[in-house]
Amino acid sequence: MPEGILCNKKMVDTKEQLDALLADAGGAQYYKEMKQLDVDSDALWVTIQKSLKSRLKTWLEICAHCGMCAESCFYYTANNRDPRQVPSYKIQSTLGELVKRKGKVDNTFMQVCMDTAFSKCSCCTRCGVYCPFGIDMGVMFGYLRGLLFSQGFTPWEMKIGTGMHRIYKAQMDVTTEDWLDTCEWMAEEWEEEYPGLKIPVDKENADILYTVNAREPKHYPQDIAEAAVLFHLAGENWTVPSEGWEETSLAMFAGDWAACKMQVENVYAAMDRLKPKRMVVTECGHAYRATVIEGPYWAGLKSGQPPVESFHYVEWVAEALRTGKLKIDPSKKIKEPVTYQDSCNYIRNAGLADIPREIMSYIAEDFREMTPNREHNFCCGGGGGLNGIGRYREARNIGMKVKRDQILATGAKLVIAPCHNCWDAIRDMEEIYHMGIKWSFLKPILIKMVEVPEHLKPRDEG
Amino acid sequence: MYQFVTGPLLWLSFAIFIIGCIVRIIRYVKGLNWQADRVAYTAHFSYGMKGAVRSVVFWLLPFGTRSWRKNPFFTALFLVFHTGLLITPIFLTAHNIILKERWGFSFWTIPESAADLLTIALIVASIFIILRRIALPEVRILTTVYDFAVIIIAVAPFVTGFIAHHMASDYKLWTILHIICGEIMLIAIPFTKLSHFVLFFMSRGQLGMDYGIKRGGMKGKGFAW
């Protein structure tokens, strides 16, 4: 069978296609069809010839097979130093073979590639930091994911995710109406406690354009309210866009480059329309990477910069604390031992290692670093889309052991994780390994300890 | 035979080596693509170069990076091996005498005892590198015949040179063998993994530019390699 009904080389561009995929519980039919999916070797080879340039070609060619990347990989250590988990081996036996065979590979090979790309690599790019030649296997696996996607070999959830982006311009089925309703509802709900609280929509020339992860309106809208409260208390002139509010890109995890472009251009259009001074993205690592770091390239911006200067939430928090826009009540600082999870996507991919340390210095009395940390941190195990894929759940759970041990070694009882995927992975880790820890985004912690200026306090009745 | 290997063949191998390396550098740079690589090379060239230089320098410094420090044994082997490989042939007295005779110039020279020491150290290091390949599962799984062939190509000129100089009963034969091995190495450099002789700088520099421009280099301090 060349192409299945659900598993095929077509893009999910209609609601009917998306609903059909969603109706397939756990992707049972999808994966059954995948076993029959033909590989278009010619198309694959054409794509490789066009897109495999200096960098990847040289990386594949000059890898000295020295094995220095082995220990850099959390999957390698979490799996008892299984040699099949050595990053170089993983990429050479998949992408390397694919190139060597000039795309003439079969269905089984493509499935092995998919399994490797999504259950043995979170694209955390740590190996690149440890390779003498600077060979970044995370980047190469991202490329391989793109090749696999073009041939229909992508996990069921990834196909759904890219479909969501293509249809809703968001990773979940949140419509413009849903989004605006949520903003309105949250402002009303929290206004009693914070008089004058607003979530301004589509305000032009604001100082800050705030954008989010679609999971927030969908599953934890209080996150939006908390952001609104903190902006309100800090006296920021801010707004959210009615369109182009979603920062994430499951399409980036899947390697659906066309959808990546569509998604990010939607956000950039909001910037062009509303002309904010700067953009601040919520506490999410991959969203920041997709829109701020990689996005400009998908959108064809030669500067490599988004149209408006863009910041991660931690950068805004650090600035607000540094300049006194937000003041911490010293008696409410975190007393218990607390540690911080460096998200690969804004540490190794954006250089924001110092910022969180600055924040911790304002809010925590007993801050404990994990080892290693900053640029050398380990992935939580949930990056690269790994949290969301049922087929590889077990492999991900094993991978999380490295972060579990790092956290336990600090003795901290609380982990601050300003990244959705890290937050999720740590939650799952607690569920599976019962470590006795709590985990949190920054916003709820800040709300508990920030001083409310006199004029913004609710007036006593009577 | 001696005339041939030290005459036309030598010229040919030097030509292939030099032109080959230059071609590889040019092709590498031409094959970079700002949009596909997702690095704004030209738009932020100075940040990029800063990142590239940083990256190359830290990786050339013995134990200069976390990765080098984490693998002290291999790092030492690597250092000894590459130091011997580069220093010995260029600064060997015998080579420089030939240079002076033929082309009228020479480099500094190192004492013969130092050259011997470097050569022996290099050969010993290469034996350990080969043993490491076989002994460690994480390296064994990556290793192919090609990897051994590359090491042999690189070490053969040193082994034959050492034998010719110190142990050979038939000096002329070993000298010819030594020259041929050297020429094989020169010719192999542009066409094999040995191309990392120049491509290390390209690839290392490229990732340095990536970090220098896109991955935080423009936000503050350079990357902590």
Span A98-149, pLDDT tens digits: 999 999 999 999 999 999 999 999 999 999 999 999 999 999 999 999 999 9
Residue A411 DSSP label? T
Cβ atoms of residues A150 and A427 within 8 Å: no
pLDDT at residue A461 above 80?
Answer: no
* Average pLDDT over chain A, rounded to an integer: 96
Q: Name the token pair of A266.
A: 């939607």
**Cβ of A31 under 8 Å from any chain B Cβ?**
no
**Cβ of B69 under 8 Å from any chain A Cβ?**
no
**Cβ of B82 under 8 Å from any chain A Cβ?**
no
Instruction: Name the packing angle between helices A137-150 and A107-119 (round to 10°).
Output: 140
The CA distance from A114 to A101, in Å, is 17
Contacting A residues, span 103-142, partner chain B, CB-CB under 8 Å: 128-136
B224 Cβ contact list (under 8 Å, min separation 6) = A353, A374, A375, A376, B66
| Chosen from A65, A75, A355 to mutate, greatest number of chain B CBs within 10 A | A65
| Chosen from A57, A62, A303 to mutate, greatest number of chain B CBs within 10 A | A62
Q: Name the token pair of B171.
A: 């000096």
Closest listed residue to residue A290, CA positions, set A342, A255, A242, A323: A255
Q: Which residue of A58, A67, A303 is in closest CB contact with B138?
A: A67
SS3 A184: helix
One digit per residue, pLDDT tens: chain B, 225 residues?
788 888 899 999 999 999 999 999 999 999 999 999 999 999 999 999 999 999 999 999 999 999 999 999 999 999 999 999 999 999 999 999 999 998 899 999 999 999 999 999 999 999 999 999 999 999 999 999 999 999 999 999 999 999 999 987 888 999 999 999 999 999 999 999 999 999 999 999 999 999 999 999 998 788 989
- Between chains, do A134 and B207 touch, taking CB under 8 Å as contact? yes
Closest listed residue to residue A422, CA positions, set A375, A378, A383: A383
**Cβ of B17 under 8 Å from any chain A Cβ?**
no
Chain A residues with CB under 8 Å of B136 CB are 67
Beta bridge partners of A414: A338, A438
The CA distance from A205 to A208, in Å, is 8
Chain B residues with CB under 8 Å of A297 CB are 34-35, 38, 40
**H-only helix segments in A234-353:** 250-254, 257-274, 285-288, 295-298, 313-322, 344-347
**H-only helix segments in A323-419:** 344-347, 354-363, 393-399, 401-410
How far B124 CA sits from the closest chain A CA (Å)? 17
Residue B199, CA distances (Å) to A171, A341, B87, B190 in order: 40, 35, 19, 9
Give me the pLDDT at residue A358, please.
97
**Cβ of A220 under 8 Å from any chain B Cβ?**
no
**Cβ of A461 under 8 Å from any chain B Cβ?**
no
Chain B residues with CB under 8 Å of A352 CB are 216, 219
Q: Name the token pair of A281.
A: 């993205």
Q: Name the token pair of A150.
A: 């073009």
pLDDT at residue A228 above 50?
Answer: yes
The percent of residues above 90 in pLDDT, for chain A, comes to: 98
Q: Name the token pair of A229.
A: 């409260």
A260 Cβ contact list (under 8 Å, min separation 6) = A249, A251, A252, A290, A294, A295, A298
| Residues A260-286: tens digit of each pLDDT | 999 999 999 999 999 999 999 999 999
H or E element in which residue A312 lies: strand A310-312
Q: Name the token pair of A317.
A: 């928090």
SS3 A240: strand
pLDDT at residue A378 above 90?
Answer: yes
How far B204 CA sits from the closest chain A CA (Å)? 5
Q: Phi, psi at residue A369, to the nearest 5°? A: -80, 140
Residue A450 DSSP label? B
pLDDT at residue A290 above 70?
Answer: yes
- AA letter at A236: E
Contacting B residues, span 138-157, partner chain A, CB-CB under 8 Å: 138-144, 147
Q: How many CB pairs under 8 A join A and B?
A: 155
Residue A386 DSSP label? G
| Residues A4-39: tens digit of each pLDDT | 999 999 999 999 999 999 999 999 999 999 999 999
SS3 A458: coil
Residue B176, CA distances (Å) to A237, B10, B149, B160, B173 in order: 80, 11, 21, 9, 5
The CA distance from A292 to A247, in Å, is 9
Neighbouring C-beta atoms of residue A287, cutoff 10 Å: 30
Cβ atoms of residues A92 and A127 within 8 Å: no
Show the CA angle centred on residue B123, arms to residues B117 and B124, nearest 5°: 85
Question: Exposed (0-12), middle (13-18) or buried (19+): which is B220, by Cβ within 10 Å?
Answer: exposed
Q: Name the token pair of A185.
A: 């509802």
Contacting B residues, span 38-67, partner chain A, CB-CB under 8 Å: 38-40, 43-44, 55, 59, 66-67
- Between chains, do B204 and A294 touch, taking CB under 8 Å as contact? no
Closest listed residue to residue A395, CA positions, set A380, A381, A406: A381
Show the CA angle centred on residue A138, arms to residues A13 and A289, nearest 5°: 60
pLDDT bracket for residue A462 (50, 70, 90): very low
pLDDT at residue A413 above 60?
Answer: yes
